[in-house]
Structure 1
C-alpha cells in the first residue's frame, strides 16, 4: 500500500473521497426512493392480528394430562381462534418461543374457518368448516423446531379472511415442550381447546374425545400477517389489562380495540389493522406480568410489519404498585421520561407516536386508590396532554371519568366493571369512540417521507460542497 507523498496527491484523494461519498448518498437516496415507490405501487406484509407474547405463569398452564411432570402439551392438539382485523387472501402465521425453556417442536398445524354455533361469530369455537381446512408449512416442511427465544413464520398461504371475522388455528405437538416455561398470552378472553393425539384435521375437537379440555388462554401463536396493498398499515397498541380486555365479554370481541376496529369498518372498508400488544398487569418501567413496555417496544411494535401508528396507553400499574411518598413521585417522573423515550424510538422507526391519558383508578376497596396516587396520575396526564411530545393525544381519562356532579377521580359508574379500574363493554365502546379516526389519514405515510427527505438533503449538501471545490 502506498501513501500520498505530495500536497497534490492528498488533494486528489480528498476529491475521490468526496465523490465516493456523494455517490453513496445519492445511491442510498435512490434505494430508499425506489423502495418507497415499489411499496406505493405494490404490496407488502401487514399484521392483521397479534397478541403480546409472555411467559405463561404456572396457574395459567394447561391441566393434566396436557401438563405433565416433564413437559407440556405432549401428544396434544391445541385449537385456538383469533379475531382478524383486515380482509386478505394471502396470510402467514408466526409462532413464538420467546420465553420457552426448551425447543418448541411443532409437528403439524392447520388453519380453517370456524363453524358457527347458534349464530355466533365462531370465536371460541371447537369446530371448523372442513371444506376450508388447509395445512400450514414452514420452509416447505410440515414440522418445525423453534429454538428457545426464537420465532417461526409459516409459508404464505392462499386463504381468504375478512375484517371482523374469526380464524381457527390448530397445532399438534407430538413430543410436547420440555419443562414448564412456555410462551403464550393468558388474557385471551377467548376459549381454546386441547385434545389428545393429532386432531389438526378434526371437524370438532369437542366431539373427538372425552378428554378434550377448554381453557381461556392462547399459547404459542403470536402474529398473523397478510400480503396487502401498500395503502394498508397497522396501529399497534402498547397497554395493560384495560387494553387486553379485562371486564369485556369472553368470546364477544368487545375490548376497546375491537370496538375501534368496528368504528373503522363502519366508515368504509378499512386499510388499518388494530394490533393489541397489551397484557394484564403490564408496566411501562418494570417487568412483571410480561416484560416492561420499554424493554418490549422493539419486539412488539418496531419489529412488526407495516406498523405506521403506535398508541401508548400504559402506566396505571406503575403508579398503582409504587410505594407511596418520594418513591411515587420518582415513579411518575420516570413514567414521563419513559414516554419521552418511547416517542424517540418510534420516531426513529418512522412510526407516529400517539399518547393516551391514564384512566381513573380510585374507588372504595381499589388497591390503587389513594389521594397521592391520584395526584401523580393527574400530573402524568397533564404532561401527556400539554407537553406536545406525542404526535396526537387520545384523552381516555376525559371520556370515561365521572361526569358533572360525580366524582371525577373515579370511572363513570355506567362504565365501571365493578372494581373501579377496569371498564365494562359499554365503557370500552366509549373509549373506542374517543379515538379520532381522522388521525389515521393525518399521519399516513409520515415516516418514509421523512427518511427520503433526509437522505435527499444529505446528498444535496454533499453535491453543493463538491461544487464549491
Structure 2
C-alpha cells in the first residue's frame, strides 16, 4: 500500500513536470494568439549546388564560399501571418558546418530600375533581427537545418520580404545547399550589411539563385494549410520571367486570392526543381527520396500535388524496351509516393504530363515516338487511378489544358516558351486558370491513412 501511494505520488509529479515542460515548449514555439499554427508561406527545394551555380568570384574562395559575405535574398509570401514568422535555413547538402553569424528580415524596397522581387534595398522601418534559440548566431551541422525563433512581424499575402544572412568565416568547401532555379535576383557583398538599407559597397554583385534559405513559416489561423507541389522545371518556372513571379504556382495563388474568399487560407509550397525525376537523382534528389523531407516534414500540409515524370521518360533510352521499363517503374513510383503521403492523411492530386513533341528533335531531345507512347500511357494511368483504392484523390489535367488541339503531342504554339517542353508566362497562366480549385473544399478534411 505504501509502495502504491509512493508510486502514485511519483507518477503524479512526473505527469505534472511533463505538463509544465510541454506548456513551456508550446509557449516558446507558439506565439500569441495561441489558437494559430505554423504553415509554410514560402519554400524552395534544397539542392546540392552544381559548380556552375556556385556564387561568383570572389565569393567562392580557394576552399570556401561566402567568406565575410552578406547574402541578401527576396522571397514572395503566399498566405499572410498575423503576428509572427520564422525562417528555415538548410545545410542539407553541406559537407561542413554552416556558420551563420547574423541574420535579419525586412520588407523589400526597390531601388532605381528594380522590382521589389530581386531588390537590393530594404524598408529599414520594418527591420527585424533573427535569432536562433535566443542567439544571434548559429552553426548548422552537415545535413541539418535550423529553425529561427518566432519573429514578431506581421506580413500580408503576396508580400515581398528581404532576408539577409552574414557569414563571417564563410562555409568551408564547395558542397553547399541552394536552389539554383530561383528566377530571382540575389545580392552579395563583403562585410556585415544585414541592417543596411541598400548594398552600396564596391564589392556588390548579383546572382539569380537562392542560397541556404529553404522555408518561411507563418503563424496563421488554424484553418490555414498548404498545398505542396512536387515537381520539376515546369513547376520551378523555366520560361517564366526573372523577378516576375509568373510561374504557374504563383499565378494559381493569385487566382485563389482574388477570386475565392473561402480558399484564402491555403498557402502554396513550390517544392520543384529543374531536371527532377521520380526514380533517380539528377538536379537534386529524386521525388521518391525527398517526400519525407519536402512534404511530410513540413507543418500543416493539407494537400499534395505530384507533377513529375517527364524527365524520367525523357532521359530513358528511346527504345520500346527501355520505355516499357520506365513506364512500369513510374507506376510503381507513383504508388509508393501515394502510400507514404496518404499515411499522413493528406490527399494527393495527380497532374498529367504535358506534351514535349517537336518538329525539330535537336531543339527538344525528348521528342520521339517511343517516349510519346510512354507519356500517353502514364497520363492514362494517372487519369484512371483517380478515386480508386490507393490512387490519386483528384486529377489536374495539365495535358489537356496546354496541348495543341490540332496535334496533341505538342504544346499550343502560343503557350510554348520555344523549346517544345516548357511554358511561357501565358502558358503558366493557362495552367493556373485550368486548375480545378474545387478540390480544396472537397478534400478539406483530409483522407484516411488507409487508402
TM over 0.5: yes
Relative to structure 1, is the Cα distance of residues 143 and 348 closer, same or farther in structure 2, using a 3 angstrom cutoff? Answer: same
CA contact (8 A) 1:66 1:74 kept: yes
1:426 and 2:426 matched: yes
Match of 2:14?
none
Partner Cα separation in structure 2 for residue 109 and residue 135 of structure 1: 6
Match of 1:84?
77
CA contact (8 A) 2:86 2:147 kept: yes
CA contact (8 A) 2:110 2:120 kept: no
Match of 2:236?
244
The structural deviation recorded for 1:116 is 2.9
Q: Secondary structure at the match of 1:161?
A: coil
1:362 and 2:364 matched: no
- 1:134-158 deviation digits (Å, cap 9, x = unpaired): 1000000000000000000000011
Match of 1:375?
373
The structural deviation recorded for 1:387 is 2.1
Match of 2:124?
130
Partner Cα separation in structure 2 for residue 105 and residue 87 of structure 1: 29
Select which of 186, 208, 211 maps to 1:216: 208
Match of 2:94?
100
The structural deviation recorded for 1:227 is 1.1
CA contact (8 A) 1:236 1:311 kept: yes
Match of 1:335?
330
The structural deviation recorded for 1:324 is 2.2
CA contact (8 A) 1:121 1:165 kept: no
Partner Cα separation in structure 2 for residue 173 and residue 117 of structure 1: 24
Q: Secondary structure at the match of 1:113?
A: strand
Relative to structure 1, is the Cα distance of residues 120 and 70 closer, same or farther in structure 2, using a 3 angstrom cutoff? Answer: closer
Partner Cα separation in structure 2 for residue 189 and residue 248 of structure 1: 8
Match of 1:441?
441
Partner Cα separation in structure 1 for residue 221 and residue 80 of structure 2: 11
Match of 2:382?
384
Q: Secondary structure at the match of 1:427?
A: helix
Match of 1:175?
169
Equivalent residue runs for 1:37-76 within 5 Å = 42-76=35-69
Q: Secondary structure at the match of 1:187?
A: coil
Partner Cα separation in structure 1 for residue 375 and residue 112 of structure 2: 44
CA contact (8 A) 1:116 1:122 kept: yes
CA contact (8 A) 1:402 1:410 kept: yes
Match of 1:164?
158
Q: Secondary structure at the match of 1:308?
A: strand
The structural deviation recorded for 1:334 is 0.8
Match of 1:32?
none
Partner Cα separation in structure 1 for residue 38 and residue 159 of structure 2: 19
Select which of 253, 271, 277 maps to 1:261: 253
| Gap regions ≥5 residues in structure 1 | 1-34, 455-469
RMSD over aligned Cα, in angstroms?
1.6
Equivalent residues, number? 408
Partner Cα separation in structure 2 for residue 43 and residue 444 of structure 1: 17
Partner Cα separation in structure 2 for residue 412 and residue 336 of structure 1: 27
Equivalent residue runs for 1:113-152 within 5 Å = 113-117=107-111, 122-152=116-146
| Gap regions ≥5 residues in structure 2 | 1-25
The structural deviation recorded for 1:63 is 1.4
Partner Cα separation in structure 2 for residue 155 and residue 339 of structure 1: 36
Match of 1:407?
407
Match of 1:27?
none
Q: Secondary structure at the match of 1:254?
A: coil
Structure showing greater Rg = 1
Equivalent residue runs for 1:160-309 within 5 Å = 160-205=154-199, 207=200, 209-268=201-260, 270-309=264-303
Partner Cα separation in structure 2 for residue 94 and residue 346 of structure 1: 22
Partner Cα separation in structure 1 for residue 151 and residue 440 of structure 2: 29
- 1:43-71 deviation digits (Å, cap 9, x = unpaired): 21111100100000000001111000110
Partner Cα separation in structure 2 for residue 415 and residue 440 of structure 1: 27
The structural deviation recorded for 1:408 is 1.3
CA contact (8 A) 1:121 1:166 kept: no
Partner Cα separation in structure 1 for residue 175 and residue 195 of structure 2: 28
More moved, 109-118 vs 310-319:
109-118
1:310 and 2:312 matched: no
Partner Cα separation in structure 1 for residue 357 and residue 328 of structure 2: 20
Partner Cα separation in structure 2 for residue 379 and residue 93 of structure 1: 41
Q: Secondary structure at the match of 1:276?
A: strand
Structure 1: which 4+ aligned runs deviate by more than 2 Å?
116-121
CA contact (8 A) 1:47 1:223 kept: yes
The structural deviation recorded for 1:435 is 1.1
